[in-house]
């Protein structure tokens, strides 16, 4: 089922279940998708955004909430940190299973082979290919240094 349809179905179910916190998070997701669609139409893409971009939005939402939760914990606001973690759980339901370390290494090796990457100058092309194929499944902040190490070595 398409990601948008899964979100809409979850919104309807949350309304039936009277799950207000879950419903709030699902509405945030829908609003983020609609905002990005509007921006894409402004760029001339009448179809809006594709699944890959939607997964990127979800990944960014998770990252923002992790950062917020850490900030709240440092400030001693454990209630707000827990709220952020609860939102992360809801958002992650719609993300594909993340790659484990071995799968990340294999993906990096495959991308480097496909592009024929031999030097650090090829890093942008390798990362671009990885983002195209593994958005929502790979932590690119962690993958970048791995690619850099392989290309430097």
Residues in the chain: 153
- Tell whether 12 and 79 lie within a shared domain: yes
Question: Which of 71, 92, 113 is the last residue before a domain boundary?
Answer: 92
Which tokens belong to 141?
A: 């902040």
- Tell whether 57 and 128 lie within a shared domain: no
- pLDDT for res 46: 83
Whether 139 shows a pLDDT value over 70: the answer reads: yes
- pLDDT for res 71: 96
- Hey, how many other C-beta atoms are within 10 angstroms of the C-beta on 26? 25
- Hey, how many other C-beta atoms are within 10 angstroms of the C-beta on 22? 20
Whether 49 shows a pLDDT value over 90: the answer reads: no
Higher pLDDT, 41 or 1: 41
What residue numbers bound the domain in which 110 lies? 101-152
Do 30 and 7 meet the contact criterion of CB atoms below 8 Å apart?
yes
pLDDT (mean) for 105-111: 92
- pLDDT for res 119: 87
Whether 17 shows a pLDDT value over 80: the answer reads: yes
- Tell whether 56 and 125 lie within a shared domain: no
- pLDDT for res 9: 96
Q: Tokens 């902040």 map to which residue?
A: 141
pLDDT (mean) for 58-86: 94
- pLDDT-based confidence at residue 51 (cuts at 50, 70, 90): confident
- Tell whether 120 and 76 lie within a shared domain: no
Mean of per-residue pLDDT scores for the chain = 91
* Distance, first Cα to last Cα, the chain: 43
Whether 1 shows a pLDDT value over 80: the answer reads: no
Q: What is the pTM of this model?
A: 0.75
């Amino acid at each position: 089922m398409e990601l948008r349809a899964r979100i809409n179905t979850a919104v309807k179910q949350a309304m039936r279940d009277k799950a207000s916190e879950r419903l709030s998070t699902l509405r945030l997701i829908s609003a983020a998708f609609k905002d990005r669609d509007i921006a894409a139409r402004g760029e001339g893409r009448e179809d809006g955004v594709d699944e890959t971009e939607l997964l990127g939005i979800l990944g960014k939402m998770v990252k923002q909430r992790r950062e917020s939760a850490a900030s709240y914990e440092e400030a001693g606001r454990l209630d707000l940190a827990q709220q952020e973690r609860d939102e992360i759980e809801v958002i992650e339901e719609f993300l594909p299973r993340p790659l484990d370390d071995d799968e990340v290494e294999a993906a990096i090796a495959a991308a480097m082979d496909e592009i024929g990457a031999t030097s650090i100058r090829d890093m942008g092309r390798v990362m671009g290919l990885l983002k195209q194929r593994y958005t929502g499944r790979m932590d690119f902040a962690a993958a970048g240094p791995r690619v850099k190490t392989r290309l430097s070595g």
